[in-house]
Structure 1
Amino acid sequence: MHINYYLIASIIVISILAIGILIYFFQHKFFFQAEKLPQDFKFAYENLVAEEKTVFPEKDAQINYLHFKVEKPKGVVIYLKGNTKSIKGWGKFAIDFTRLQYDVVMMDYRGFGKSTGKRNTDAMKRDSQFIYDLVKTEFSEDKIFVYGRSLGTGFAARLASKNSPKMLILTSPIFSLEKTIHRYLPFMPAKPFMKFNFPTHHYLKNVRCPIKILHGTDDNLVPIKTAIELSQINPKLTRLYVILGAGHIDIHQFEEYHKAMEEIFDPRLNYMDSSTTSFNYSHRK
């Protein structure tokens, strides 16, 4: 039996190109599962005081964000959320920081919520820096904590590498979008087809503030080994908190997560009242 290796090779190349084209044109839907909100939507949260603001970082783009406020804040947390929904659903997680007496600023990416504008890597980087600069007009950098969750960890790590915040906190961090694709399609040379990429691992090399990483052992979307690898990039500044049994979207439902937050923001605290946290919140709702 004669094996036509040229035909086999051609089929493999054509298949890779076909999958690559699909990745190129549809990755925005895979990485950004946006929830859009009408411009007249009113935000409301229990036990939280939120001020809604809309800014225009550049022509044909508007960024909508919420500033959760407390009396006499110790500082502020810039919260970069994950890739799903809008700040309508994410806003409730501000409670984890306001209970510790910190303001929270949470933005919607382009195409999410009330935010508009063409979404691309460079524009989204500029937007997050624009919000950071706005926060700096109210808080000195030694009062600014940058927090990223899931997809938001790439933006958070970049902000910390380009500025001088008090601390960088990463929850369930990604290594890079390219590596995320490779995990599901290990045979694919994904890099040539990537329109979006936020290489958390690259940014961490240039971070000069303390880095805290929280990750669940049962995270099936981004495995715990990712956090271990990231913690080794800038080890002198990094501490890894392993949350036993936690997954990707339920990490906040574990007491150890909130105890870690207390240790990070105020080491003097030695008691956690779970009723004042997001412990009982479901991200699926």
Structure 2
Amino acid sequence: MSNWVYITLIVLVVYVTISVLLYLLQDFIMFKPEKLPVDFQFHYENQEIEEYNVETRDGATINGLRFKSQDPKGVVFYLKGNSKSIKGWGKFAVDFTRHGYDVIMVDYRGFGKSTGRRTQKAIKRDLQVIYNRIKENVKEQYIILYGRSLGSGFATKLASMNNPRMLILDAPYYSLSKVAKKYIPFMPLSLLIKFPMPTYKWMRYVNCPVHIIHGTDDKLIPYKTSVKLSKIKPSLTRLYTVIGGGHKNLNTFESYHKMLAEIISSKPKAVNLEGSSIHVKHSS
């Protein structure tokens, strides 16, 4: 056997081995869940909460919390990132309850007290079940979908299939396949990745106002991805920029809280463009 054939076989074996490992281990790479015992008691200072469990049709249990406000204006369905559990994520509910909104948070399968085999299809189905439960008590015109990082894709998918008041995306990705390709460009990710999460495809079918918040110094999901997403439905989308914001620290910026307050507290207003410069060309 000639050397070049031998080298080609070695490269092929290594490539196939890496592909198989990537397929089998991606769940452990992508998700960083925190498990909680079934008897764990949630507690948050100055927050009134209600815990609930929802049984799915395939026998899984989805655990969640409702953070209550006095005389709520509506409900924020908060879809968290890929790590920890709602035990820690619950501290962000104050950013909405202080504005008079109830907040619903759930743990994805395998996170916290939630059980079940984790797949993209199963999680999408679980979240629709929760959304339907919310609709039983709250009209959709009072439901806000908020997706943070990993949750931004799921929130967009929900918005594309329902009619919430608005969709807020916090540090969203264009698609997880494209994020992964940034780190391993030589792998056939279209065949290997189990959670492609094509946010950009789902965005095309969203018909409610979309508000995107992203930091300029986000090293994990670059700011430019939000710029690309904002161009998909430009008439419905507004992009909010947190100067100097990273991927995990937007809540530490005063500008973020000002943006959030503006988004959830204001109502859409029609703009009268008569007499404006909208049709004036600069060269003229």
Within 5 A, what are the aligned runs for 1:143-162? 143-162=142-161
In structure 2, the residue matched to 1:122 is 121
Within 5 A, what are the aligned runs for 1:91-170? 91-170=90-169
Shift of 1:12: 4.1
- Summarize the Cα distance change of 1:6–1:235 in structure 2 as closer, same or farther, 3 Å threshold: farther
Q: What is the TM-score when the length of structure 1 is the normalising length?
A: 0.90
In structure 2, the residue matched to 1:236 is 235
Shift of 1:236: 1.0
Shift of 1:63: 0.4
User: What amino acid does structure 2 have at the position aligned with 1:64?
Assistant: N
**Is 1:59 the equivalent of 2:33?**
no
User: What amino acid does structure 2 have at the position aligned with 1:254?
Assistant: F
SS at match of 1:236: coil
- Partner Cα separation in structure 2 for residue 62 and residue 34 of structure 1: 15
Within 5 A, what are the aligned runs for 1:168-207? 168-207=167-206
Q: How many residues align?
A: 266
**Is 1:16 the equivalent of 2:47?**
no
115-124 or 10-19: bigger deviation: 10-19
- Partner Cα separation in structure 2 for residue 32 and residue 235 of structure 1: 32
- Summarize the Cα distance change of 1:217–1:66 in structure 2 as closer, same or farther, 3 Å threshold: same
Task: Give the superposed CA RMSD.
Answer: 1.5
86-95 or 185-194: bigger deviation: 185-194
- Partner Cα separation in structure 2 for residue 246 and residue 10 of structure 1: 46
Deviations 1:128-185 (CA, angstroms, capped at 9, x unpaired): 0000000001110000000000100111000000000010000011222211210111
The structure with the largest alpha-carbon Rg is 2
| Unpaired stretches in structure 1, ≥5 consecutive residues | 269-285
In structure 1, the residue matched to 2:261 is 262
In structure 2, the residue matched to 1:42 is 41
User: What amino acid does structure 2 have at the position aligned with 1:239?
Assistant: R
Within 5 A, what are the aligned runs for 1:213-232? 213-232=212-231
Q: With CA pairs under 8 Å and 6+ residues apart, which has the higher RCO, 1 or 2?
A: 1
- Partner Cα separation in structure 2 for residue 122 and residue 149 of structure 1: 19
User: What amino acid does structure 2 have at the position aligned with 1:192?
Assistant: L
Q: What is the TM-score when the length of structure 2 is the normalising length?
A: 0.90
- Partner Cα separation in structure 2 for residue 229 and residue 7 of structure 1: 44
- Partner Cα separation in structure 2 for residue 239 and residue 6 of structure 1: 55
Shift of 1:242: 0.9
Deviations 1:204-252 (CA, angstroms, capped at 9, x unpaired): 0100000010011111111111111111111111111110111101111
In structure 1, the residue matched to 2:278 is none
Shift of 1:196: 1.9
User: What amino acid does structure 1 have at the position aligned with 2:245?
Assistant: A
- Partner Cα separation in structure 2 for residue 253 and residue 72 of structure 1: 28
- Partner Cα separation in structure 2 for residue 14 and residue 164 of structure 1: 49
- Partner Cα separation in structure 1 for residue 47 and residue 10 of structure 2: 57
User: What amino acid does structure 2 have at the position aligned with 1:169?
Assistant: I
Shift of 1:14: 3.2
- Partner Cα separation in structure 2 for residue 52 and residue 38 of structure 1: 14
- Partner Cα separation in structure 2 for residue 167 and residue 6 of structure 1: 58
User: What amino acid does structure 2 have at the position aligned with 1:133?
Assistant: N
- Partner Cα separation in structure 2 for residue 6 and residue 157 of structure 1: 48
- Summarize the Cα distance change of 1:52–1:256 in structure 2 as closer, same or farther, 3 Å threshold: same
User: What amino acid does structure 1 have at the position aligned with 2:32?
Assistant: Q
- Summarize the Cα distance change of 1:207–1:5 in structure 2 as closer, same or farther, 3 Å threshold: farther
- Partner Cα separation in structure 1 for residue 13 and residue 254 of structure 2: 50
| Unpaired stretches in structure 2, ≥5 consecutive residues | 268-284
In structure 2, the residue matched to 1:283 is none
Shift of 1:4: 5.8
- Partner Cα separation in structure 2 for residue 69 and residue 53 of structure 1: 13
Shift of 1:61: 0.2
